[in-house]
Structure 1
Amino acid sequence: MSVKKIYLIRHGQTDLNVRGIVQGSGVDSSLNEVGRRQAAQFFAAYGHVPFAKVYTSVLQRTHQSVQAFLDLGLPHEQYAGLNEISWGAREGTRITAEEDEEYHHVLQQWRLGNTSIPMIGGESPDDVAARQRPVIDLILSRPEEETVLVCMHGRAMRVLLCQLLGYPLSCMDAFEHHNLCLYLLDYTGSMFTARNFMDIAHLA
């Protein structure tokens, strides 16, 4: 049986990550020096993998995270469906429990299963899941691409993992993430299995 392998990574570190500022889909930040080093470390560990294609969001921090693979001449497709969730009015701000009660209230509602609730001016997890599905279907419709690399964003990656592994979106916080972490997924044609969870061994 042919197994499709999906290497799913989060983008490398940005200065806004360090400062605790929400980026979302509306802030198109670049990798910082640490993020570029993380990208180089990931390439050093996985540059030998025979990826058929690289998929990213349309935001530059994902492109920069896989640039070394693109420099090899690998085919690349970018989709807004893989963008980070839109945090609406909270994008570009630093959020703490003291500063923004509404933000943390919405996160708690998501954990309770109310995943149709959006941030003010932004998206809900249900919205993100809906725009991801056509991209998932596209990737799975290409059996000739046996091994692919997908680079995206923390919250959106949690939503994607729930969809692929069959968990309700209320469980998305169970999928932890770190800048340039790896989730390795196998797809047999009927189900996904996770082989690596938030793997950061390549960053050591």
Structure 2
Amino acid sequence: MKEIYIIRHGETNFNKEGIVQGKGIDADLNDTGEKQAELFWQYYKDVPFEKIYTSTLKRTWQTVDKFIKSGIKWEKLFGLDELDWGVWEGREKNEELIGAFRAMLQSWENGDYSNHFEDGESVQDVFDRLEKPKELLETRKEEQKILVCMHGRSMRVFLCLLTGAPLSKMTDFPHRNTVLYRLSYEDGKFSIIDFNDTRHLDTVK
């Protein structure tokens, strides 16, 4: 049985300040994010991972930096990048933004997966580019324990893709920074073993 550990990156200042941060923002972890990454490392450093996959954005590989430096093979995949929020990238929260996002999220929940902001991506776009990472998880038989670090929205889309849930159910997957979803892959099927696991963060103040 193959096991896949999928986590969201640690906190950035954009997360902390409520600024829109998608594929177009390549932010560093802040102090809290670095603490979250350290706690995840301390809790899971003895898991014999054979491969690490991250997005192309540095907040993901900074989160799993100690695993990478321990010598585990690492590959960056464009398909794991966060959704591109288009014209809203880097914008601070205000009434206009909140209204626009509420309407967009509602349209996705209603099944309009191709809807997107100007110059941005739809959740269908993200779903389609996640097909390649899914294929790698399925076909690389030599990789039995895998660590994947990605982003809040793209992680929710990926979990829908892997488990067969409709994209309208994305919000069923909580996505706190460094939250873990542990999955098994056996007989052609992905199954969630640990759901919304944040036990490693129990000591964070």
TM interval, shorter chain, is: over 0.9
What residue number does 2:32 align with? 34
User: Partners of 1:18 and 1:174 in 2: how far apart?
Assistant: 22
How many residue pairs get aligned? The number is: 201
Query: What CA deviation, in whole Å up to 9, does each residue of 1:99-137 have, x standing for no partner?
Result: 222232111100111111112210001000001101210
Q: 3-state DSSP class of the match of 1:99?
A: helix
Residue 166, structure 1, aligned to residue 158, structure 2: no
Residue 102, structure 1, aligned to residue 100, structure 2: yes
Q: 3-state DSSP class of the match of 1:197?
A: strand
Amino acid at match of 2:127: A
What residue number does 2:154 align with? 156
Query: What CA deviation, in whole Å up to 9, does each residue of 1:19-46 have, x standing for no partner?
Result: 0001100000000001001000000000
Unaligned runs of 5+ in 1: none
Amino acid at match of 2:50: A
Residue 147, structure 1, aligned to residue 181, structure 2: no
Aligned counterpart for 1:126 among listed residues 124, 127, 132 = 124
Aligned counterpart for 1:69 among listed residues 63, 67, 70 = 67
User: Partners of 1:178 and 1:102 in 2: how far apart?
Assistant: 22
- Identical-residue share of aligned pairs (%): 46
Q: How many Å apart are 1:95 and its aligned residue?
A: 2.9
Unaligned runs of 5+ in 2: none
User: Partners of 1:71 and 1:88 in 2: how far apart?
Assistant: 34
TM-score for the superposition, normalised by structure 2: 0.96
Backbone CA RMSD of aligned residues: 0.9
What residue number does 2:200 align with? 202
Query: What CA deviation, in whole Å up to 9, does each residue of 1:22-75 have, x standing for no partner?
Result: 110000000000100100000000000000000000000001000000110110
Q: How many Å apart are 1:189 and its aligned residue?
A: 2.9
User: Partners of 2:162 and 2:57 in 1: how far apart?
Assistant: 22
Q: Which runs of 4+ in 1 moved over 2 A?
A: 99-103
TM-score for the superposition, normalised by structure 1: 0.96
Could you tell me whether the CA contact under 8 Å between 2:55 and 2:150 is conserved in 1?
yes
Greater displacement, 155-164 / 98-107: 98-107
Query: What CA deviation, in whole Å up to 9, does each residue of 1:154-180 have, x standing for no partner?
Result: 000000000001111111011111001
Could you tell me whether the CA contact under 8 Å between 1:103 and 1:119 is conserved in 2?
no
